[in-house]
Amino acid sequence: MPAQPGPAARPDGRTERSRRTREAVVQALVDLYEEGDLAPTAQRVAAQAGVALRSVYGHFTDMETLYAEAGQRELERLQAVADIVPADLPLPERLDRFCRSRARVLEHLLPVMRASRLREPFSPQLQRNREQFVATGDAEVLRVFAAEFAPLTADQRSALLDALFLVSAGPAWEALRLDRRLDPAGALAVLTRSVAALFLPGGTA
């Protein structure tokens, strides 16, 4: 006779508690950033997460490893925020959807970007996180505007990618929101005009 299936394995309680604690610590770091604490210590992260300090270091050997996981979690969360713009839409529609999506993503990331700026010079992991975010943004640009990049020479492609980074990446959004004190709608309008100027005659989407 065929063997009867055994009872479904029950999740190990300690493993589940450990997973929840680890997630709480990562979320606590992001929450502190969003609350304006741009340089939280491990002690403040532990207090925010509602766990003992030893629990933070039990899961993360140092703040660098915590930064690494938090950066990866943020990249994953952005997938729910970003709009996957079809590359075969007419250019004006792609421009509009790209800029709206980019603005949502950057507004979501603003507290994390501000906090990372403070520690990046002293944190190899935050520098790697930044490189990963830049590479992800470049890949999105090259996918959405593949038709416009295709006929360009290598030098022209590089120059256009640099220009698009200048007007539509994190530093530009941070400057518009904090230095120019624009609200998200105002910052989006500037971003859209700037991106359109690189693609459309007259610079209007």
In this predicted model, which residue has the larger pLDDT, 178 or 14? 178
89 to 132, 157, 203: CA distances (angstroms): 27, 21, 18
pLDDT band, very low/low/confident/very high, at 80 (cuts 50, 70, 90): confident
> Can you give the pLDDT at residue 112?
80
Average pLDDT, the chain: 87
Note the helical H segments in the chain.
13-34, 42-49, 53-59, 63-81, 91-119, 124-144, 146-149, 154-168, 170-174, 184-197
pLDDT band, very low/low/confident/very high, at 183 (cuts 50, 70, 90): very high
Give the rounded percent of residues in the chain with a pLDDT score beyond 90: 51
From the list 98, 61, 102, 107, the residue with the least C-alpha distance to 196 is 98
| 81-98 mean pLDDT | 95
| 94-105 mean pLDDT | 96
> Can you give the pLDDT at residue 15?
83
Domain positions in the chain are 14-61, 74-203
In this predicted model, which residue has the larger pLDDT, 46 or 69? 46
Structural contact between residues 150 and 139, judged by C-beta atoms closer than 8 angstroms? no
> Can you give the pLDDT at residue 3?
52
> Can you give the pLDDT at residue 13?
78
Class for domain 14-61, per CATH?
mainly alpha
Residue 86 DSSP SS3: coil
Spatial separation of the C-alpha atoms in residues 205 and 200, rounded to whole Å: 7
For the stretch 114-163, pLDDT in tens is 777 777 888 888 888 889 889 999 999 999 999 999 999 999 999 999 99
| 71-87 mean pLDDT | 83
Spatial separation of the C-alpha atoms in residues 112 and 92, rounded to whole Å: 31
> Can you give the pLDDT at residue 108?
87
